[in-house]
Amino acid sequence: MPDAVTTRVLILGGGFAGLEVAQNLEKIFRQRDDVEITLVNENNYLIFTSMLAEVVSSSIEAKNIVIPLRECLRKAGFKELIADSIDLGNKTVSCHRPDNSENFTLGYDYLVLAMGSITGFHGVEGAEAYAFPLKNLADAMELRSHVIDMFEMADLEGDHDVRRRLLTFTVVGGGYTGIEVAAELNDYVGASRRFYKNVRSDEVKVVVIDPGDRIMHEMSEGLAEYGTALLKKRGMEFRLNTRISRVTQGSVETADGGVIETHTPIWAAGTSPQPVIAALPCADKKGRIEVNDYMEVPGFPGVWALGDCAVIPDPHTGKPYPPTAQHATREGKRTAYNVAASINGKEGDRRPFIYKTQGMLAPLGHRSAVAEIKGLKFSGFFAWALWRCIYLGKLPGWDRKIRVAIDWFLDIFLPKDIVQLKFLMRVRQSEAADKR
């Protein structure tokens, strides 16, 4: 008997969207050996990005918000590789290993693109070289170490103006990510200051810069105003309707001629498409892929795109769906169903992706948050408790849920951790020297 022909499904990207596709395809084809599912990702873990800001503030141990991808997969295979180029005509993907650059070529019959995005610096001079992004676990740990280093340097400094410059932390971007990290950072620096005898409270400041007229545009105006007023009471400064023109090693310059002296510009001002995706012939001018209602790439049968790298039309609004985790997981489930329909030759069974946002939540630090769920609005402690319950429930794996719950419990009673991991700073300094 000849061997059965294997159908190869290749999934690029191990974030919320890609992992959801792999897990649902496993369920659909669990009793079939003729379907080979392979997930490719640069790291062998999924980052629960919604909790990255709490890694910066030492509320959560970094390792507790990463989930090994191999533990999440049973039937599907996993390869820790970086995709270099995609040949849609020959149905191959060129990759290399992250550690030694060994090259690999992977073939496929069906391709799912879920590679997410990278930090977008939007051409601002000096931003990539000097600003701190917050896209992955290394970014969060590096930023935390740098913040502690600023306190250590300030404690040794005798000049008041120099100390103030060292202890000014500037967040560029007033969206969800920017506000979350700014609020957590404000709590962290406020709690850590007491360990440094030569640092005065008026020398520590967190500044948020945003080109819009208010923060958190995704949230209703009333909740955004509540968040602004609450954070201002805690000493934070907001510079709205302000654009960044340049970032240097010791300052952030704005388009209106203003200068904020700081050694810690934190970049939370949006994302850019993955270069591999932007190089595809089906990518639009912004480097993303416009798909149809089934998340198929027009003109390229057997190719789907979802998550941050795709433009998926929302029939309710006529606009693309936002690139959030709650959308990505649901897109992944529907994509898996449609891929299975194509493999089984039942194109008529495909279903369009239609989803209405369930709600938005944003923590504001100090046991407070804002939430808008199915038209209902909450703020303060109840919203904060709601945020923690919902996101703890979404965190994959019972072991991770228990670890994070313990971290949160201990954070109520124990002081903030101010241990400085200097090896992370040496890596950053070496990279900055190479760029120069």
Nearest-angstrom CA–CA distance, 377 and 216 = 14
Decide the pairing of beta strands 7-12 and 110-113: parallel
pLDDT at 218: 83
**Do residue 265 and residue 413 come from a single domain?**
yes
Same domain, 301 and 405: no
273 in Cβ contact with 117 (< 8 Å): yes
Predicted pLDDT of residue 100 = 81
Are 269 and 172 within 8 A, CB to CB?
yes
pTM of the model: 0.91
Continuous segment of H or E residues that includes residue 362 = strand 359-363
* Domain shared by 109 and 19, yes or no: yes
Q: Is residue 59 a part of any domain in this protein?
A: no
Is 90 exceeded by the pLDDT of residue 420? no
Given 311, 329, 349, the domain boundary residue is 349
Number of H helices, E strands in the chain: 13, 25
Question: Do 277 and 321 fall into the same domain?
Answer: yes
Half-sphere exposure of 115 (CA within 13 A, CB side): 24
The single residue listed with the structure tokens 């958190």 is 216
If one compares 426 and 113, the residue with the highest pLDDT of the two is 113
Say yes or no: 160 and 253 in one domain: yes
Predicted confidence at residue 433, as pLDDT, reads 47
Last residue of a domain, one of 349, 383, 401: 349
pLDDT the model gives residue 425: 56
pLDDT at 4: 57
| Same domain? 96 vs 218 | no
Residue range 344-356: mean pLDDT, rounded: 93
User: How big is the chain by its Cα radius of gyration, in Å?
Assistant: 23
By the 8 A CB rule, do 315 and 293 touch?
A: yes
Closest C-alpha to 370, from 140, 241, 236, 215: 215
pLDDT tens-digit map of 29-73: 999 999 999 999 999 999 998 899 999 999 999 999 999 999 999
- Judge whether residue 82 has pLDDT over 50: yes
- Give the mean pLDDT of 310-316: 92
Query: In 3D, which of 25, 60, 55, 120 has the Cα closest to residue 403?
Result: 60
pLDDT digits (tens, 9 = 90+) for 159-179: 999 999 999 999 999 999 999
Question: What pLDDT, in 10s, does the model give residues 266-306?
Answer: 999 988 989 999 999 999 999 999 999 999 999 999 999 99
b/e map 160-178, b = 16+ CB within 10 Å:
eeebbbbbbbbbbbbbbbb
Domain residue limits at 402? 127-269+359-435
End residue of a domain, out of 349, 378, 405? 349
Calculate the average pLDDT of the chain.
Answer: 92
Same domain assignment for residues 262 and 289 = no
Confidence at residue 435, expressed as pLDDT on a 0 to 100 scale: 44
Please check whether residues 165 and 205 belong to one and the same domain. yes
Average pLDDT value for residue range 367-387:
93
3-class state of residue 333 by DSSP: helix
Whether residues 17 and 94 fall in one domain: yes
Give me the CATH number covering residue 403.
3.50.50.100
Beta strands in 221-274 (DSSP E): 237-239, 244-247, 251-254, 259-261, 264-267, 271-273
Q: What is the CATH number of the domain that holds 302?
A: 3.50.50.60
